[in-house]
A and B are shown apart, each in its own frame.
Chain A
Amino acid sequence: MSAATTLNWAAAPRGNAAVRFESREATRETPWVKWTILGISLTFFAVFLLLPLVAVFVEALRKGWETYWSALIHEDALSAIMLTLTAAAISVPLNLVFGVCAAWAIAKFEFRGKHLLITLIDLPFSVSPVIAGLIYVLIFGAQGWLGPWVAEHDVKIIFAVPGIVLATVFVTFPFVARELIPLMQAQGREEEEAAIVLGANGWQTFWYVTLPNIKWGLLYGVILCNARAMGEFGAVSVVSGHIRGQTNTLPLHVEILYNEYQFAAAFAVASLLALLALVTLAIKTWVEHRACSAPPSREPRQDAAS
Chain B
Amino acid sequence: MTISLIRPSLLALALTAGLIGSAQAETTLLNVSYDPTRELYQAFNPEFAKHWKAKTGQDVTIKQSHGGSGKQARAVIDGLEADVVTLALAYDIDVISAKTNKFPANWQKRLSHNSSPYTSTIVFLVRKGNPKGIKDWGDLVKPGVEVITPNPKTSGGARWNYLAAWGYALQQPGGNEAKAKEFVTELFKHVPVLDSGARGATNTFVQRGIGDVLLAWENEAFLSVNELGPDKFEIVVPSVSILAEPPVTVVDGVAAKRGTADVAKAYVEYLYSPVGQKIAAQHYYRPVKPELADAKDVARFPKLKTFTIDGLFGGWAKTQKAHFDDGGVFDQIFTR
Interface set of A (CB-CB < 8 Å, partner B) = 82, 85-86, 89-90, 92-93, 96, 137, 140-144, 147, 150-151, 156, 158-159, 161, 211, 215, 218-219, 222, 241-246, 256, 258-261
Contacts and interface: CB of A to CB of B under 8 A. Distances in A.
A149 B192 CA distance: 45
Contacts of B200: 259
A159 B80 contact: yes
A161 B100 CA distance: 23
Contacts of B1: 211, 215, 218-219
A89 B66 contact: no
Given A93-B5, A243-B30, A137 B78 contact: yes
Given A96-B2, A147-B79, A211-B2, 6 more contacts: A86-B16, A89-B11, A89-B12, A143-B77, A150-B79, A151-B79
Interface string B14-49: 011001100100000010000100110000000000
A141 B199 contact: no
A161 B19 CA distance: 10
A85 B78 contact: no
Interface of B: 1-2, 5-6, 8-9, 11-13, 15-16, 19-20, 23, 30, 35, 38-39, 63-67, 75, 77-81, 99-100, 199-200, 203, 227-228
The 8 closest A-B pairs by CB, nearest first: A89-B12, A142-B79, A141-B78, A93-B9, A159-B80, A241-B80, A242-B65, A261-B227
A142 B78 contact: yes
Given A143-B99, A158-B78, A259 B16 contact: no
A161 B20 contact: yes
Contact of A141 (B65, B79, B228): B79
Nearest to B75: A241
B5 A222 contact: yes
Contacts of B80: 159, 241, 243
A197 B3 CA distance: 28
A89 B63 contact: no
B64 A244 contact: yes
B79 A159 contact: yes
B219 to A, nearest CB: 14
A245 B61 CA distance: 11
A172 to B, nearest CB: 14
Contacts of A82: 15, 19
A158 B79 contact: yes
A93 B9 CA distance: 7
A258 B204 CA distance: 12
Contact of B23 (A92, A93, A219, A246): A246
B17 to A, nearest CB: 10
A15 to B, nearest CB: 30
30 contacts: A82-B15, A86-B12, A89-B9, A89-B11, A90-B16, A93-B6, A141-B78, A141-B79, A142-B78, A142-B100, A143-B77, A143-B99, A144-B78, A150-B79, A159-B79, A211-B1, A211-B2, A215-B1, A219-B1, A222-B5, A241-B65, A241-B80, A242-B67, A243-B64, A244-B63, A246-B23, A256-B66, A258-B203, A259-B203, A260-B38
Contacts of B78: 137, 141-144, 158-159
Nearest to A134: B78
A97 to B, nearest CB: 9
A272 B75 CA distance: 29
A243 B62 CA distance: 10
Given A158-B79, A243-B65, A85 B23 contact: no
A89 B227 contact: no
Contacts of A158: 78-79
A92 B8 CA distance: 11
Given A141-B79, A143-B99, A86 B15 contact: yes
Contacts of A85: 12
Contacts of A219: 1
Contacts of B79: 140-143, 147, 150-151, 158-159
A90 B67 contact: no
A261 B12 contact: no
A4 B166 CA distance: 54
A246 B39 CA distance: 19
B228 A261 contact: yes
Given A142-B100, A215-B1, A243-B63, A89 B77 contact: no
Most B Cβ at <10 Å: residue of A218, A243, A260: A243
A215 B2 CA distance: 10
B96 to A, nearest CB: 11
A243 B66 CA distance: 8
Contacts of A147: 79
B9 to A, nearest CB: 4
